Amino acid sequence: MKITDLKCAVIGSNPIVRIVTDEGIDGYGEIEASKPYLKPHVLFYKDLLLGEDPTNVERVMLKIRRLGSFKPWGSAVSAIEMALWDIAGKAAGVPVYKLLGGKVRDRVRVYNGGVRFEMQGYSPKDYAENMRKMKEAPEGFTIIKQGIGFHSAMPHQVPDFTYGEVNTGKFHPNRGPLTERGLKHIISCVEAMKEVLGDEVGLALDCGPGFMVPDAIRLAKALEPLNVMWLEDMITGDYVPYVLADVYREVTRSTSTPIHTGEQIYLRQNFKDLIERHAVNVIGPDPCDIGGIAELKWVAEYADLHGILIAPHGVLDGLLGLAALVQVSATLPQNYIAFEYPVGRPQWWYEIVEGLPNPIVKDGFIEVWDKPGMGVNLIPEAAQKYLREEDQDFFD
């Protein structure tokens, strides 16, 4: 089998990778909805893939893996990797999890990152009401993540939240020391959310990036009695192109509240210090950023050797990304907590994808399906009308 073409179309906001072969088998990968600008980056790799056997996934990846980087620039490599596994599974007639070593679990726990309700404000009462809606969602989530601090509108909505200058713009531009008022506001909001959730549903907190170390320590220690699942990306994260394992380690060693990071990190080598130095308690790589699902599995196993948990990120990975997360999460060791549940946006995504169960999530879990490849495919006839003019030949 040989790769004859690499295509990329932006459907909705998600760049979709399609790898075509000379045996009529194709494979799909998806890039996060926040990165519609990455189509040219995908096509950069085309000449390196043509003529290769897609079922030799690692051989192909060795040609392109070193040419990616931290979020967002690892996404093209990651999507190509997932499309290769999709082809390999279809060619072998088995689900991808079989090629990754087989299932550890028959159903995978997810945490709520994608099912959102509009915030009416940013007071403790508003956070409590928003959490109540998520708790009542039909998916029955057992863990819910919410943005606070610099990963929310608090710097703009709470007067004198920080001593730093408050910036506007994308990609979480704010960073600086908290005022006492700002710190107390965060704590009050978390207390209000936990009052709603009790001990029935776990609360994970997406915090930054942007915290200073003293504030990170103060917040983590203040929240110890509340038993939150984790504090995510306090120091770095998202679009920060470095790790700072030594800084995270200072925070982690100061508290019993679990500290988490990793969604922006590309490749196993860049998790090495976090894991070997026990710099965090939980890692959260995204398959659409780390370099794909095999890379994520390698890092999960290495983390397990060091007593570190894993909760893969994935909020914007879309429905094809959801399928990849299900396949790899079925194979992860017992340090696995849950992966972040992505949804299809716009709603018509559910009309152009086949293979997903209905409902997808039951009581906070997804049953692992057994269809070949990722088990989920685009429906060309349904998806064609959503293609942009320049992408009309995507399914040819």
Distance (Å, whole) CA 245 – CA 263: 14
User: What is the distance between the alpha carbons of residues 148 and 248, in angstroms, rounded to a whole number?
Assistant: 18
Contact 237, 211 (CB under 8 A): no
- Given a cut of 90, whether residue 5 has pLDDT beyond it is yes
pLDDT digits (tens, 9 = 90+) for 76-134: 999 999 999 999 999 999 999 999 999 999 999 999 999 999 999 999 999 999 999 99
Residue 386 has pLDDT above 90, yes or no: yes
- Let me know whether 117 and 265 are in one domain: yes
Are 186 and 252 in a shared domain? yes
**One domain for residues 250 and 364:** yes
Percent of the chain at pLDDT above 70?
Answer: 100
251 in the same domain as 110? yes
pLDDT in tens, 313-367: 999 999 999 999 999 999 999 999 999 999 999 999 999 999 999 999 999 999 9
Preceding omega of 72 cis (within 30 degrees of 0) = yes
d(CA 144, CA 393): 40
Segment 55-66 shows an average pLDDT of: 98
Q: Does 263 fall in a domain?
A: yes
As for how many domains the chain has, the answer is: 2
Prior bond of 209 cis (ω within 30°)? yes
Secondary structure letter of residue 115 according to DSSP: -
Measured distance between the N- and C-terminal CA atoms of the chain, rounded to whole angstroms: 19
Could you give the 3-state DSSP secondary structure of residue 156?
helix
- 289-310: average pLDDT: 98
CATH of the domain at 225: 3.20.20.120
Report d(CA 44, CA 4) in Å as an integer. 15
* In a domain? residue 250: yes
- Residue 197 placed within a domain: yes
Res 129: pLDDT: 98
Rounded distance between C-alpha atoms, residue 287 and residue 70, angstroms: 12
Residue whose token pair is 């972040």: 340
What distance in Å separates the CA atoms of residue 234 and residue 232, rounded to the nearest whole number?
6
30 and 66 housed in the same domain = yes
Where residue 59 sits, what CATH number does that domain have? 3.30.390.10
Residues 133 and 186 in one domain: yes
Over residues 205-241, the pLDDT tens digits come to 999 999 999 999 999 999 999 999 999 999 999 999 9
What distance in Å separates the CA atoms of residue 314 and residue 325, rounded to the nearest whole number?
8
Q: Answer whether residue 169 shows pLDDT above 90.
A: no
Rounded to whole angstroms, the Cα distance separating 219 from 232 reads 12
Flag whether pLDDT at 287 surpasses 90: yes
Whether residue 195 is found in the same domain as residue 113: yes
- Tell me, yes or no, whether 49 lies in a domain: yes
Residues 77 and 186 in one domain: no
Give domain status of residue 396, yes or no. Answer: no
Mean pLDDT on 14-21:
98
**63 is in which domain, residue-wise?**
3-93+379-391
Residues comprising the chain, all counted: 396
Contact (CB, 8 A) for 119 and 193: no
Q: What is the mean pLDDT of residues 198-209?
A: 97
359 and 210 together in one domain: yes
Identify the helix (H) or strand (E) that includes residue 367.
strand 365-367
What lies within 8 Å, CB to CB, of 128 at 6+ separation is 192, 193, 195, 196
Q: 3-state DSSP call for residue 312?
A: coil
| Same domain flag for 270 and 294 | yes
The answer on 81 and 146 residing in a single domain is no
The reply to whether 194 falls in a domain is: yes
d(CA 240, CA 394): 33
Computed over every residue of the chain, the mean pLDDT equals 98
Residues 85 and 125 in one domain: no
Backbone angles phi, psi at 111, to 5 degrees: -115, 155
State the pTM of this model: 0.97
Residues 6+ apart with CB under 8 A from 173: 167
Q: Is residue 235 part of a domain?
A: yes
